[in-house]
Amino acid sequence: MTLSAPQIRSRKRRNGAGALVMVTAYDEPGARYADAAGVDIILVGDSLANVVMGQPDTLHVSLDEMCHHVRAVAAATPQAHIVADMPWLTYHVDSADSVRNAAALVRAGAHSVKLEGGRARREVVRAILDAEIPVMGHLGLTPQSVLSFGGFKVQAKTRAAAEWLIKDATLLQDEGVYAVVIEGVPSVVGTKVTEALEIPTIGIGAGPDTDGQVLVFHDLLGMSKRKPAKFVRQYADVGSLITSAIGEYARDVREGTFPGPNEAYDNPEGLFD
């Protein structure tokens, strides 16, 4: 059975729940490997723009592109919950359009949607929830705000900004979001917002006390061309493995050792005698 949004909502560490594990995936193999590893949540993140499409930020991915990748992830039929990012400008203009855009991600195979921002998104969160689509929030260093932040900068570094973030998180909780991602804030802010909420927090660069953690697939596997952020732990060097495997294949082709007899079909008798 797929992990549902209400089940995730009840996963608060202070109530004895285990930490939530979330990882991004963008295609069927990635989702299949992540699910086999036992993650709780697969995020089809708009980081797709960075790590798959090679773009400088997440402003460069469309709803159609997100739906295409959600469909591929859903084809893995994971036990893990699939949450899909609503890309930039698909929930900023009009509530009715935002609901239709969230529904497109659900029809592509997502079990819920994630969107960035606090009080400014209150109405749209309410409209999407009213359409029976579970919503995950995302606060702190929200990558879709890169232009207004003037870069990818750690957020909530003053007392006032931290209190603002905690208020935003509480407001999202009161609207009915089932969990909230907290990104790129001092650890103490991750701790305080986690203490303040009844719903789980999922941290990325928010310290050890959040109710779960999320990392980007390509960052944790060492497949990213970008310099990893301070908060990334790289668990493998799959990028080097891929280059070396493809290099061996190229060498074998050039030396005439691939394909070998076991990798070719026998000639039927009488063919070209």
Q: Active-site residue numbers?
A: 183
Nearest-angstrom CA–CA distance, 78 and 2: 7
Name every residue whose Cβ is closer than 8 Å to that of residue 199 and which is 6 or more positions away in sequence. Answer: 9, 12, 173, 177, 178, 179, 180
The reply on whether position 47 binds ligand KIV by CB under 6 A is yes
One of 11, 30, 41, 45 touching ligand KIV (CB under 6 A): 45
Nearest-angstrom CA–CA distance, 155 and 37: 32
Contacts (CB under 6 A) with ligand KIV, residues 162-181: 181
**Closest CB to ligand KIV among 81 and 96?**
81
Determine the size of the site formed for ligand KIV (CB under 6 A): 11
Q: How many C-beta atoms lie closer than 10 Å to residue 71's C-beta?
A: 17
**Closest CB to ligand KIV among 34 and 255?**
34
String of DSSP letters for 120-149 = GGHHHHHHHHHTT--EEEEEES-GGGHHHH
One of 40, 85, 168, 219 touching ligand KIV (CB under 6 A): 85
Helix (H) or strand (E) holding 72: helix 63-74
Q: Smallest distance from the beta carbon of 10 to ligand KIV, in angstroms? A: 21
**Closest CB to ligand KIV among 76 and 214?**
214
Nearest-angstrom CA–CA distance, 234 and 222: 6
Q: Smallest distance from the beta carbon of 240 to ligand KIV, in angstroms? A: 23
- Spell 138-167 as b/e; 16+ CB within 10 A means b: bbbbbbbbbeeeeeeebbbeeeeebebbbe
Contacts (CB under 6 A) with ligand KIV, residues 206-225: 214, 216
Quick one: how far is CA 24 from the chain centroid?
A: 4
Q: Smallest distance from the beta carbon of 170 to ligand KIV, in angstroms? A: 20
Q: Smallest distance from the beta carbon of 85 to ligand KIV, in angstroms? A: 5
The reply on whether position 24 binds ligand KIV by CB under 6 A is yes
The reply on whether position 34 binds ligand KIV by CB under 6 A is no
Please give the residue ranges that form the binding site for ligand KIV (CB under 6 A).
Answer: 24, 43, 45-47, 85, 181, 183, 204, 214, 216
